[in-house]
Amino acid sequence: MANDLGNASPARTHKTRWWKEATLFIAFYAVYTWTRNQFGSDRINGVDIPVQAFRNAIRVVRFERWIGLYHEESVQEFFLSHRWFIQLMNTYYGTAHFIVTVTVFVLLYKKRPDVFPQWRNTLAATTALAIVGFSLFPLMPPRLLDQPCPPLGHGAQCLEAAERGLDKGKTNFGFIDTLDVYGGPWDFSSGAGAKMSNQYAAMPSLHIGWASWCAFAMWPLARRRWIRALVLLYPTTTLMCIIVTANHFWIDGVGGQLTLAVGFLIGTGVHKWNQRRLDEKYEAQLLTS
């Protein structure tokens, strides 16, 4: 485009401000946490959430068994004798999810400002879609399948044994709540941790969704092989972590990936729309200047 003097107009530059992005990040996460936790209540609109979450877990287990990929209990059992590893995974589950995501968010802001809004939008859309998933499909994680029902706990022992068992004579699922047994930085079984968290937000797994978001967003910055190896190792380790700690079924991770894919489409679409809007606004200002 040319101005009145026939010279090419200067290209529009879009500046992001750290305080604005930090405020948006904190505000969105606060809204996400509050909204997510609303669906962790015992009853919503007359629906018994723990029972519904348990029955959805039964559906997941039966589907995984039907396709021959129900191995979460065996994977966890293999590592249970290694106490140090279980404690490491408990700590990893409760810390890396937030620390790594915030770190990547800051690195994107500083190192990839041209695509930062696109990936910020993607993270927001992915998280919002996950809230929809939590509300429509509350899912009890494996670690709670053999725990008491509220108000004593968050699990499903109050249901009929015949409904609980997948095989004749089987009275439990065999999963261990590693955080409760081995300890870690958080406690979701009692106290503030239990009150402030949604115990049935297993599908989709945002641990996998956010970890994959970090990997995809950081890949162009990973110039060295060892850095690329770490980038790929992060979501892989996260998948192992959620299974070993019995916080998710593996299929929850698939749900997390699909949610990220849709979130990326939405985030990219919003980013392109906003860029066109800002371009048109900038060109209009040049014409009137």
Nearest to 59 by CA among 129, 133, 137: 137
Question: What does the alpha-carbon distance between residue 47 and residue 25 come to, in Å, rounded to a whole number?
Answer: 32
Question: What does the alpha-carbon distance between residue 185 and residue 94 come to, in Å, rounded to a whole number?
Answer: 7
Question: What does the alpha-carbon distance between residue 259 and residue 39 come to, in Å, rounded to a whole number?
Answer: 19
| Lowest mean pLDDT across 88-102, 158-172, 194-208, 266-280 | 158-172
- Judged by DSSP in three states, 280 sits in helix
- pLDDT > 70 in the chain, percent: 72
- Preceding omega of 10 cis (within 30 degrees of 0): no
pLDDT tens digits, 129-187: 999 998 899 999 999 888 776 666 667 665 654 354 444 445 578 899 998 888 766 65
What is the Rg, in whole angstroms, of the alpha carbon atoms belonging to the chain?
23
pLDDT at residue 249 is higher than 50: yes
pLDDT tens digits, 17-76: 666 767 777 776 777 666 666 655 555 544 578 888 888 998 999 999 999 999 999 999
- What is the domain partition of the chain in residue ranges? 51-288
pLDDT at residue 10 is higher than 70: no
Question: What does the alpha-carbon distance between residue 289 and residue 278 come to, in Å, rounded to a whole number?
Answer: 16
Bigger pLDDT: 273 or 161? 273
Mean pLDDT, the chain, integer: 81
